[in-house]
Structure 1
């Protein structure tokens, strides 16, 4: 299914932070994990992901460092304590928002 870009934009930071809560990752690894875990619903391109990562790094939610693994240097991203707090706030907001949307969608009025 093709999702509205506004829906994806509004949740992409939370999704990335959620993955980084588990382990530090490099960019392509994040793209691959998002695609796999969403059954191909989230197929981010590099041009979409990297601006998100840069914004989160500027906000202090993640940090990055170059690491050489198997002779290949990659930029790895890791969540910070500030990022963990942000993730928790975004998750709480998402739960509340999605619950309110579901209530409206499932309303069976007498009209």
Structure 2
């Protein structure tokens, strides 16, 4: 899939994979990849700026966790993030319905015989 196809939908993707609970960056990338059947392969250079932006907007919060001697930042949805995810889902449904109606128009009605 083209990388630019994800643009504009990245926030919704990140919010959606964090809906079930906190994840660190690599786990977020893995979750998106698994949920998309391997079609979406996000890069760290793409998600970390987006995660930081979503945190600044108050849609995510983060905390440091230790795994052995390593530390990593885990991200989770805030209440505002859950509301934003609901809005993203609604917008996505409207968008796909509109695009679908153009790409796959209903067959014109047949005249009665």
Residue 109 of structure 1 deviates from its aligned partner by 5.4
Following superposition, which runs of at least 4 residues in structure 1 exceed 2 angstroms of deviation? Answer: 69-72
1:102 to 91, 100, 103: 100
Give 2:51's aligned residue. Answer: 53
| Count of aligned positions | 108
Cα pair distance change 1:97/1:12, threshold 3 Å? same
2:71 aligns with one of 73, 80, 85? 73
CA distance in 2, matches of 1:87, 1:49: 17
The normalised TM-score by structure 1 is: 0.90
Runs of 5+ in structure 1 lacking a partner?
none
Give the greater-gyration-radius structure (CA). 2
Instruction: Please show how residues 1-111 of structure 1 align to structure 2 within 5 Å.
Output: 2-5=1-4, 7-107=5-105, 108=107
Look up the SS of the partner of 1:66 in the other structure. Answer: strand
With 14-23 and 66-75 compared, the bigger mean Cα shift is at 66-75
- Structure 2 stretches of 5 or more lacking a match? none
Q: Which has the higher helix share?
A: 1
Q: What TM-score do you get using the length of structure 2 for normalisation? A: 0.89
